[in-house]
Structure 1
Amino acid sequence: MFRYCPFVLLWTSCIVVYTGVTSAEEECADFTDLSLSHAIVGTKLDVQLLLYTRANISCARTLHHADPFSTPQLNASRPTTFIIHGYRPTGSPPGWYEKLAHLLLERADHNVIVVDWNRGAATLNYFAAVKNTRKVADNMTAFIQKMEDHGSPLSWFHLIGVSLGAHISGFVGTNLNSSIGRITALDPAGPEFTGKPPDSRLDPSDAQFVDAIHTDMDALGFRKPLGHVDFYPNGGSDQPGCPRTILSGSSYFKCDHQRSVYLFMNSINRTCEQIAYPCNSYTDFLDGKCLNCDKFEGKGCPVLGYDVIKWKDMLVKRGQTMTYFTTNSWSPFCMANYRVDIVTWNLETRWGFLKLALHSKDQKTEASIDHKAAEFKLYTEQSLLAQFDRDLQPVERVSLSFWTGNLLPPRYKLRILRIRLTPLNAAHRPMCRFDLLAEENKEVIFRPIPCGDSNF
């Protein structure tokens, strides 16, 4: 017996695993570790399947394609999750695959199989790696069919594909007549797949449920929706905390692309729940036009990642649903979102930007609403979205700043008849305040009061 306390993220418990006596002949299997020299020369495709279960959570076992169940830890009566990596131009193993396997086993008792096709993905010739995706899919298909023959229903399989791995998952789903239970696509690859018909890439018909996270759609990722639900954190392109210049080295190329993996891993751990808002565009989301989650039959808007399966039926029924949200730059990435409803009483219309800050004891968190100028009209309610990097409770004071962006006088004033801050990510009571005067470029601080039971 050993006690397993995963070392990633934040954990509240350990898994106690009963392993029995391990034979000296049973060696831990390692992911194929290659180098840049291998990538330069090119590698011949070879697929290795590495099994993790709660009985061997720290020591992968090699699965044999011809006889999967010769590895005793594999159990056909458990659900099975595959992890499929993408292009590996330097030949090194993915730094996240083992952490992801551990997280999955923390959540559920199932077979976790890492698909190691590094010999085939490790090449400077991206097009060669793309060509190999079909072969990897055929290999996986034959293996899954053997598991099905031993009693594993296809609906019990969950394929998690990263980049090229997302499209491999789609090909497997097509091979198995769309009977796979779920495919999760983590920033599905764009180059060589953009503009291709559905049978040449991942699409919603490849599984009973397909969810995708897009984090680098302006470079290595796929821009358009590919699943029943598609998540676009921060609009789907530039991710907070990722370098913006090539001077940062390799992280400049992979940080946005890999953020999808870390967002998904955080969703498994459930350190915080990231609500995603169905919307026509990221701009509409930032404008506060898509914050009503009542249309989801009492379940609320879907959450990012692992637990979105709870919304499966309604999302499949809705068809392709694009969702948006924002994150901060550090794990677990969740922000505290507030809807800000303002009624002003300036006789003339004012256009401008707002900055809000929440204060709790000696802590402070700020949100700037400045993606575009907001319009404030006499006695007309304006709804805005304020996004704070963390949730501070209890909120003792709120500060507000107004500015127009004009470099020259006059300085304007914003006369606020009513302001209401409604938290969207937590069950805290809305906060209100009445009769404020915000002078341009000057901070006004007030103590919020609980809102009444009226509409405002």
Structure 2
Amino acid sequence: MFLWQYLTLLLLPITVQICKAQRCEEFTDLDLSHAIIGTSLKLRLLLYTRHNATCGTLVSHSDLSKHPQFNVSRPTTFVIHGFRPTGSPPAWIQNLTKLLLARADHNVIMVDWNHGAANVNYFKAVENTRKAAENLTAFVEMMKVFEHSLRPPMCVACHPTNGPNRPQERGASLGSVHMIGVSLGAHLSGFVGANMNGSIGRITALDPAGPQFTGSSPENRLDPSDAQFVDVLHTDMDALGFREPLGHIDFYPNGGADQPGCPKTVFSGGAYFKCDHQRSVWLLLDSLNRTCASRVYPCSSYKDFLSGDCLSCDRFGAAGCPVFGYDVTEWKDVLLRLGQTKTFFTTNAKSPFCMTGYRVEVMVWNKELRFGYITIKLHGKGEEAVATIDHKAAEFKKYSETRLLAQFDRDIQSVKKVSLKFSTGNPLKAKQKLSVLRIRLTHLERKERPLCRYDVVLQQNDEVTFKPIPCEDSNF
């Protein structure tokens, strides 16, 4: 025994150097020439853990015992990219891996099928999703039956005390498997889930591909039955993405198309075609980073949401409406009971993407009917937030309450002043004024008393600033 301990101490410096010399595998980097020629499918699995967060390990498809750092008793997240028409690696790989590992001590496997996805022939890449899914299914099946040590080392040589008599544990729990699929990768995830009879824990689909999948039957695309819980984000439904709901909860930021900050004309180059589609990944990264939270609201249409007609969260109980992103599983039970839930929210043009919502109620005493748009500014200590309610002209009728939804670009914790501006959007007409009897602003998140102001006259296009007061229950 003493001899073994002595040898362990003697060999430790050598074995540590062996561990440090482990090769870091990189995502396959191809170029346009490969895509033009066409690539055949080759699936590579790159493992990242908290022990090798920046150094990918190429995982064997047939023998997990070669990778002692792969502890199947921990949750495993597979990240699956989509179509790669130029062959370049996705720009978000490192950041997504880092944020996933910061959230939990689990295995993150980057599914590299660039050989197969890099092809100017999109239809060939679609065909390869089925083959890649079969390969990945076989790997997950192997995880189920693999026996592993309960004390996984960084590498075996570094821990000679972890010998053959270490306690063993059999297999991975499919319920702890999470697949994050981007575009074609979303449907690929669905095929794996279907092969496993929907027993994997979760599929997160980031703007699932639309072309070749729209109108297809559930067995030929992602479907809620493919996992125990399926959450789907739609950001480019009018072009590269899928329009209809596909999960237990479907998120439609900014209506699911035309994301803010993305180019509006083809003269912007490649960004015009991919910006909306890629926004899905950046939104997920924001939620992982807990930069801020985006509350989502169930609604039949984006138009109704913008009009403030869908702000009730009663169906979700005390937790309120779900929050978009990685943590939506906190609402899993209620969402499974509700069936498919279609939700909407708005975002900023860049990170932090989350916006802050207020319910706005306006009562006027103009004799004649008024139609127009309202811009609201909230002033705090050295900061300002702006919301322009302009998706349609609001109707203002004497002694009738007009309800609006204001989405501010940031959250002002302590509002000192409020600015209002009324406009008609028609510079050819004579200037009008809006005689406001009362305006009330209610924060949708914080349980605090609404802010009010009484008897304000808004001249068209002129900004009026005032100090709001807390609304009283007795106020009309």
Query: Greater CA deviation, 236-245 or 277-286?
Result: 236-245
The CA distance in 2 between the partners of 1:455 and 1:34, in whole Å, is: 67
The equivalent residue for 2:204 is 184
Q: Is residue 437 from structure 1 mapped to residue 457 from structure 2 by the alignment?
A: yes
Q: Which among 342, 348, 359 is matched to residue 339 of structure 1?
A: 359
3-state SS of paired residue (1:438): strand
1:324 paired with 2:317, answer no
TM-score by length of 2: 0.89
What's the CA shift for 1:65? 0.5
Gaps of 5+ in 1: 1-18
CA deviation vs aligned residue, 1:179-225 (integer Å, no higher than 9, x gap): 01100000000000000000000011111100011111111111111
Query: What is the aligned residue count?
Result: 438
Following superposition, the deviation at residue 122 of structure 1 comes to 0.5
Deviation at residue 307 of structure 1 after TM alignment: 0.3
Matched residues in 2 for 1:146 and 1:239: separation? 41
Q: 1:171 aligns with which of 178, 191, 194?
A: 191
Equivalent residue for 2:41? 45
CA gap of 1:454–1:188, structure 2 versus 1, over 3 A, is farther
Who wins on radius of gyration, i.e. which is larger?
Answer: 2
The residue that corresponds to 1:290 in the other structure is 310
Matched, 1:78 2:74: yes
Aligned partner of 1:353: which letter? Y
Q: Which runs of 4+ in 1 moved over 6 A?
A: none
Does 2:223 match 1:198? no
Q: CA deviation at 1:24?
A: 5.8
* 2:56 maps to amino acid: A
Amino acid across the alignment from 2:465:
I
Q: What's 2:398 paired with? A: 378
**Superimposed CA distance per residue, residues 242-261 of structure 1 (whole angstroms, 9 cap, x where no aligned partner):** 11222222222111111100
Aligned letter for 2:308?
A: G
Letter aligned with residue 51 of structure 2:
A
Distance 2:347 2:370 in 1: 30
Counterpart of 1:142?
138
Task: Give the 3 Å change call, closer, same or farther, for CA 261–350 of structure 1 in structure 2.
Answer: same
Aligned-partner Cα distance in 2 for 1:138–1:454: 65
Distance 1:417 1:287 in 2: 21
Aligned to 2:472: 452
Bigger mean CA deviation after superposition, 355-364 or 300-309: 355-364
Flag the 1:455–1:158 CA change in 2: closer, same or farther, 3 A.
Answer: farther
Query: What is the CA-CA distance between 1:21 and the residue it aligns to?
Result: 5.5
Matches within 5 A, 1:91-110: 91-110=87-106
The alpha-carbon distance between structure 1 residues 435 and 137, as it changes in their structure 2 partners (threshold 3 A), is same
Partner of 1:212: 232
Seq. identity, %: 63
Matched residue type, 2:327: D
Tell me which protein shows more helix as a share of its residues. Answer: 2
Shift of 1:425: 3.7
Answer yes or no: is 1:89 the counterpart of 2:89: no
Which amino acid in the other structure matches residue 442 of structure 1?
D
Specify the SS of the correspondent of 1:231: strand
Counterpart of 1:257? 277
Q: Which amino acid aligns with 1:217?
A: M
Write out per-residue CA displacement over residues 247-278 of structure 1, whole angstroms, 9 at most, x where no aligned residue: 22222211111110010011111110111111
Which whole-Å CA distance do the structure 2 matches of 1:347 and 1:407 have between them? Answer: 22
Which aligned pairs between 1:383-398 and structure 2 lie closer than 5 A?
Answer: 383-398=403-418
Is 2:296 the counterpart of 1:276?
yes
Q: After superposition, give the CA deviation of every residue in 1:338-378 in whole Å (9 maximum; x if it has no partner).
A: 11011122233221111111122443332111111111122
Task: Name the SS for the 2:317 alignment partner.
Answer: coil
Counterpart Cα distance in 1 of 2:28 and 2:422: 56
Aligned to 2:124: 128
Q: What's the RMSD between the two structures over aligned residues?
A: 1.6
Q: Would the aligned equivalents of 1:68 and 1:143 in 2 still touch at CA under 8 Å? A: no
Alignment pair present for 1:118 and 2:99: no
Q: Provide the secondary structure at the position in 2 that maps to 1:291.
A: coil
- Partner amino acid, structure 2, of 1:345: W
Q: 1:98: Cα distance to partner?
A: 1.8
Deviations 1:112-132 (A, max 9, x none): 000000000011000000000
Question: Unaligned stretches of 5+ in structure 2?
Answer: 1-14, 147-170
In the alignment, which of 41, 51, 58 is matched to residue 55 of structure 1?
Answer: 51
Instruction: State the TM-score, normalized to the length of structure 1.
Output: 0.93
Residues 352-361 or 155-164, more deviating: 352-361
Q: Residue 304 of structure 1 corresponds to which residue in structure 2?
A: 324
Matched, 1:313 2:326: no
Alignment-mate amino acid for residue 328 of structure 1: N
Q: Structure 2 CA distance, aligned partners of 1:70 and 1:144?
A: 16
